[in-house]
Structure 1
Amino acid sequence: MYNHSEGVIFIFKVAMNKQRFQELSDEELTQALFGPMIHRYKEEQLLGHDFMDIYQQMTKGQQAFFVFQTYYIHASSSLTEFYWWSVYYVAERGRWKGLLSGLNYFGEDELVQILQQVEQILLEFGHPVTLDDFNISRDQLHQRPKLLKAIETVEEPFQIAVKNTLQRIMSYIRSHPEEFVTWEEDHTQVG
């Protein structure tokens, strides 16, 4: 969906009427907004295109939401996934910086601090800071007891903080719908 605002084309503003927007649960609204983004991202990957061109056409709120949501979906599912996706994002510096920047955009200082602790742990244990020669497997976490213990110490606070972050992001979206949706006219007629 393309929308013109001050001469800029914004992608992924979902068209819906205000009543539907207000009635959707947080989970439903997340899917309504994120679904088109991730679909387009996967399309661009299959075509071998750089998604950054599209990403830069998103509003700041959409960018922050997209990066957070892509990390959250994977990293929140288990300790092993939290570890691996954190390693991957740290190695792909643009994503990691985008994630931290997005969380700062939403005012999520607590989660930023936790993720900075994760980054420090990964650096202390010699994890890659680029995708060059990236060869980290999920199994490596359980093969290194000290690393496992260090990651476990931040994973529990992460799981608690990320749920609160998700709720606050949805509150932000509901308070700033202009960054995420365009309003459709309600064509229902009475009687």
Structure 2
Amino acid sequence: MFRVLYDHAKGSVSEYYQWISYLLDRPDYWSGVTGGLRFFDDMAMLGLLEETTEVLAARNRRLGVQWGDATFKDLERDRELLNAASVLFERFLDIAPNSLKRISTYIRSNPRQFVTIEDGD
């Protein structure tokens, strides 16, 4: 699930904001992302996503909006949101390569937890 977030959010601060909001609007998806990060013991990325959630949730409460109300235009209309999301997005880009490496190294070291190889007989 982290790869889903990463692939969709890495392109711009707007995509990061929109995809975080989208996934938070779907608690099962969000728990898939955070649960996966816990499984791989990626506390740096987990901490960043928790901080992002807190920042966005505070804004939502202040404005009385829900996760599903988020749009790309929010960043154009809200300079404070743009500034906060930009800082968080830059940190996301800095941390993500280590997250991807951590996950891929674990999977390569423990392939039987992720893939079942059957004989062609």
TM tier, smaller: 0.7 to 0.9
Specify the SS of the correspondent of 2:102.
helix
Specify the SS of the correspondent of 1:155.
helix
Distance across 1 between alignment mates of 2:115 and 2:11: 28
The answer to whether 1:128 aligns with 2:66 is: yes
CA displacement at 1:182 relative to structure 2: 2.9
Q: C-alpha offsets along residues 23-72 of structure 1, whole Å, 9 cap, x if unaligned? A: xxxxxxxxxxxxxxxxxxxxxxxxxxxxxxxxxxxxxxxxxxxx111111
Aligned residue pairs, count: 115
Greater strand share, structure number = 1
Among all aligned residue pairs of Structure 1 and Structure 2, give the percentage whose two residues are the same amino acid: 30
Report matched runs for 1:34-53 at 5 Å: none
Q: 2:71 is matched with which residue: 134, 137, 151?
A: 137
Q: TM-score, normalised by structure 2?
A: 0.87
The answer to whether 1:171 aligns with 2:105 is: yes
Structure 1 gap segments, 5+ residues each: 1-66, 186-191
Q: TM-score, normalised by structure 1?
A: 0.57
Report matched runs for 1:3-14 at 5 Å: none
CA displacement at 1:181 relative to structure 2: 2.1
Larger Rg: 1
The answer to whether 1:116 aligns with 2:59 is: no
The answer to whether 1:180 aligns with 2:107 is: no
CA displacement at 1:184 relative to structure 2: 5.8
Distance across 2 between alignment mates of 1:104 and 1:182: 23
Distance across 1 between alignment mates of 2:116 and 2:28: 29
The answer to whether 1:146 aligns with 2:80 is: yes
Distance across 1 between alignment mates of 2:117 and 2:29: 31
Tell me which amino acid in the other structure corresponds to 1:149.
N
The answer to whether 1:86 aligns with 2:24 is: no
CA displacement at 1:170 relative to structure 2: 0.6
Greater helix share, structure number = 2
Distance across 2 between alignment mates of 1:96 and 1:180: 20
Structure 2 gap segments, 5+ residues each: none
Distance across 2 between alignment mates of 1:152 and 1:136: 16
Residue in 2 aligned with 1:15? Answer: none
Q: C-alpha offsets along residues 85-105 of structure 1, whole Å, 9 cap, x if unaligned? A: 001111212211221111000
Distance across 1 between alignment mates of 2:76 and 2:48: 21
